[in-house]
Structure 1
């Protein structure tokens, strides 16, 4: 690209009659594939965040265990969560568009889904609700009721950029490899295996159209030693 620009400049200055590099096709740069976390990395990350009482710990659980997108997690409403039935409806998202923070519907009907969730999610969301109640009491008249599960200390929506910074900081605190929040979705399937979630339930969470696809995921975690290590995630975090 530098050579082509230099030759083009030479043509404009009439030093050369033509740019011989014009018709040379440059190979498209390959996208760098993001290596997802191992289950051990995810377990360390979650355990450290919970031990530190990171206020975003419940949100970390949602993006890792349920594979929620960042906008979906931040846009989740309490009215869409049923802790008794252990399921939630995903239909809203938080996005910053043209300088404005918007709470709006997910883009397509296919994005909307009612997801069952394992006990670790129930435990995390109950803890989040207690934190919300305490924050609302402390804020008093300054509290702004939005109905969102994840809010600031005054009840307002959380900026996605602020969450990303919190996530990156939590990676540092846990001493694990830094990945972008969106890369955590690729770890979700392995975590469901770790938590002994029934394949049919995992199929719903992962939004697979065929159970055979889900079973392929389970088959990849076949050794007893590996399954024992994975199961520690649920044992440690649900206790």
Structure 2
């Protein structure tokens, strides 16, 4: 019997055989799974269910996976695992730029997908449980974040950050002026679960900068330390 509090996963793919195999494997491992074969259906189910995680194929018959990812990211930080038949580094980076938290290339084994699902859900839960309490503001109140509420505001407007983006901002802003290498950030944010390349941190930083209104050339908050990584440029407001 499925537990009442079992994590809810929205599975989006237009290939019926893939849906059947993945759903059976996830349900066998005690996840509550809902399916959509179109982008329209996926967005409708997302609004109704508020799932804990989305497994999203890039190639759909009506709305592209990229556009669905962008729409979800406007208002939610739900972890997104992107499915793609493209395996080049550029394609993977583009997926992350769209707001995905992780990716897996076809063909893949259900066991590998399950491992990535577990990892993403664990990271999201860990971020909620381990983040320091209390609110901080920077730049004379222009940028505000609250770890307990898991909220970030720019000039009073609530931002939709992914769990990884929030954790990055949390880590950098609570250690102002300290230079973090990409390797350090990978381990602090994703730990031993990370399976990819350090340059994906650049993608998440780029997304984060866009959301907080920061310019790479003239940054106010997140600066690049050339040859090393990144640092937060301002101290918290008193």
Normalised by the length of structure 2, the TM-score is 0.24
Normalised by the length of structure 1, the TM-score is 0.24
- Based on CA coordinates, which of the two structures has the bigger radius of gyration? 1
> Does 1 or 2 have the higher relative contact order (CA < 8 Å, sep 6+)?
1
Q: Which has the higher helix share?
A: 1
Q: Which has the higher strand share?
A: 2
